[in-house]
């Protein structure tokens, strides 16, 4: 079930939130590339973004994509917030929070048990209800196999 689009007014600008469409992918990729170049997000191919868009949402201003986030569903037990990005010109207006809320609601609609998010923005995620672990649960630990810089420098066909 696709979430209906919603419109919110923030700082005199009408921001529309709606499910991502295939035709949004080039604009989403351009938005994400800013964060990829600063090594804040991993590069995504067109094919990966098309897959994420099925459970993704965009924020638009005058039909221009200014924000994106998706929930990747791994199983009935777990989903992950992916590719959260908001154009620098529109940060601080609640767009990222709304996109995460839409993703969490999508996971809830699909009957997913838990949603996780990996981010350097601890405060942002904690105010949205995320925490390091669930009550009585183990914590996730990571082992990095490659540097983010090496990963970002891999040559990838952008049309995949």
Q: Check which CATH number belongs to the domain holding 111 and give it.
A: 3.40.630.30
Please tell me the total count of domains within the chain. 1
What is the average pLDDT value for the chain, to the nearest integer? 85
Residue 160 counted as domain residue: no
Does residue 152 surpass a pLDDT of 80?
no
By residue range, what is the domain housing residue 114?
6-153
Model-level pTM?
0.78
Residue 159 counted as domain residue: no
Q: What is the pLDDT of residues 1-59, one digit of tens each?
A: 445 556 555 457 899 999 999 999 999 999 999 999 988 888 999 999 999 999 999 99
Does residue 130 surpass a pLDDT of 90?
no
Helix (H, G, I), strand (E, B) or coil at 122: helix
Q: Is residue 24 within 8 Å of residue 65, measured between CB atoms?
A: yes
- How many CA atoms within 13 Å lie on the side-chain side of 60? 17
């Amino acid at each position: 079930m696709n979430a209906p689009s919603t419109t919110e007014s923030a700082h005199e600008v009408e921001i529309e939130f709606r499910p991502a469409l295939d035709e949004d992918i080039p604009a989403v990729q351009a938005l994400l590339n800013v964060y990829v170049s600063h090594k804040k997000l991993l590069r995504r191919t067109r094919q990966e973004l098309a897959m994420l868009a099925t459970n993704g949402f965009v924020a638009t201003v005058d039909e221009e994509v200014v924000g994106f986030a998706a929930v990747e569903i791994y199983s009935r037990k777990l989903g992950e917030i992916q590719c959260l990005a908001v154009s620098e010109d529109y940060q601080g207006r609640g767009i990222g929070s709304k996109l995460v809320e839409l993703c969490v609601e999508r996971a809830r609609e699909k009957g997913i048990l838990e949603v996780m998010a990996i981010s350097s923005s601890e405060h942002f995620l904690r105010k949205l209800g995320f925490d390091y672990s669930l009550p009585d649960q183990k914590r996730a630990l990571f082992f990095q196999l490659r540097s983010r810089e090496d990963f970002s420098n891999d040559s990838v066909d952008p049309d995949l």
